[in-house]
Homo-oligomer: A and B are copies of this chain.
Amino acid sequence: MSYHCYFENEFHPLDTPLLKTNDLGLLRGFGLFDYLRTYNGVPFRFAEYWSRFSGSAASLGIEVPLDKEAVYELLGELYRLSGEADVAFRLLLTGGYAEDGLTVTQPNFIIRSEPLPKDNPAGRKTGIKVIPYEYVRDLPYVKTTGYVHMMKMSAELRNQMASDLLFHKDGLVSELTRSNIFIVRGDSLITPGKDALRGITRKLVMEKAAGKLEVQERDVSLDELLSADEVFTTSSTKGVMPIVQVGDKLIGSGAPGRATVALQLLVDGEFARYGK
């Protein structure tokens, strides 16, 4: 029992050399992906992840060679092969092999089962530090494989004992490298409406907050974020993660705020119940 990779109609152990070196994802960054996990052995909100994945593919003009039902079955098979209680899945679609390093003929579609990432339980309790970084993604609604800024800054993040970058451009914040951003001001919960990936956990948080807080999807300036009562980030693997420091500036008292902790509990509850 172990993690596997699905490619070209077969399952392979995860560390099998599979790709030729003229894949357009590798040579030209022409690739997109999505990433989800199981709770209680069931892929969390698969329909929503599939919809986003298909949307990314349509945006880049790459055809997905399998349909939703076929992929769901493959996830089940990968889950069984893993022998684990819960796993993560990575769906990866590239422009495929190109003789000339340019021309798309047939996409490469890979599905990997992976160990669940360490979810930084300490960070979820005490909050994390992020660093402001001037940048906005070119294609913010598409989950491309373009993470060169994050990778380039990884040593600097370690030096500054920070967990992630906070992207901002022309005064407005958009997202972190792999997660969405929320601020709390009084009774309002606010998240940027543009230039940010449509996170599944972002949507879940907005569902859970409805009726308790006034949920706003609108522009958020870096200044407004720095003076917010609370700040947190959301992702499929982090859930609700408090942000207590941005660069040198503490957010609020420098500890996770009340709304953040309440939403974290609600979201964790949703995860814990899922599939049961």
Interface residues, chain A, with chain B CB atoms under 8 Å away: 5, 7, 14-31, 33, 59-61, 90, 92, 94-95, 97, 100-104, 110, 112, 114, 117, 135, 138-139, 144-152, 154-155
Contact = CB atoms under 8 A, between A and B. Distances in A.
Contact of A146 (B24, B59, B104, B148): B148
B95 A28 contact: no
Contacts of A24: 151
Contacts of A94: 26
A199 to B, nearest CB: 18
Contact of A135 (B25, B59, B60, B138): B138
A152 B139 CA distance: 11
- The number of times this chain is found in the oligomer is 2
A92 B15 contact: no
Given A28-B147, A151-B60, A21 B19 contact: yes
Contacts of A92: 21, 26-27
Contact of A20 (B17, B31, B147, B154): B17
Given A61-B155, A146-B146, A148-B138, A15 B20 contact: yes
Contact of A19 (B18, B90, B148, B151): B18
Contact of A95 (B23, B30, B151): B151
A151 B27 CA distance: 11
A30 B148 CA distance: 5
A16 B20 contact: yes
Contacts of A100: 117
A199 B144 CA distance: 27
Nearest to A15: B20
B19 A61 contact: no
Contact of A26 (B16, B59, B145, B152): B145
A26 B25 contact: yes
A21 B18 contact: yes
B117 A30 contact: no
